[in-house]
Amino acid sequence: MCGYLQQILESKGDCEKKLEALGKDIGMKFLEIYEIRRSNKIVDILESITYTFLPKIYTSNRYVEKSKDFENVFLIIEDTPFFGKYISAPKRCEGFCADSITGGIISVVLTSFGYKNTVTACLSPSKNILTKVVYVIKINTEDLQREKRYN
């Protein structure tokens, strides 16, 4: 796995997109192994991902929030991300976030529930926590409207 990750980092192109694709593969495998509680509400699904599914892969202090500005944007905030500890990026990859792997995992779980989405992993260091990562989750507005009709 480490060798594969090193190949991704040394290759030309968008490293984060390749790591996200790897995360989607990992997420599919974990979906086959672990059960995740079914729900019709996006907030419940995101809570299951945050507090039940991801901790089966690795433990971290994380929580989920809804954006105050956009109805279709949610955030999973993680204080101690896993992959960033073990993957260092070359200088040419400024702003690189190795935890795009986790973003891919989150994305594939949401897709399996029928929600079209885009997940972006962003480094967001604060004064107290230098390693903080924010996963910005954009859900397709049509999927949210469908949810409102049925709930």
Predicted local confidence at residue 62, as pLDDT: 95
Rounded Cα gap, residues 50 and 64, in angstroms? 7
- Provide the CATH number for the domain around residue 103: 3.30.1380.20
Structural domain harbouring 51: 2-150
Give me the number of domains the chain comprises.
Answer: 1
Residue pointed to by tokens 């949610």: 74
The rounded average pLDDT for each run of 10 residues, N- to C-terminus, in the chain (151 residues) is: 65 76 94 87 94 93 95 94 76 76 96 95 80 93 87 71
Q: Which pLDDT value is given to residue 37?
A: 79
Q: How far is it, in rounded angstroms, from Cα 95 to Cα 57?
A: 25
Helix/strand/coil percentages in the chain, nearest 5: 45, 15, 35
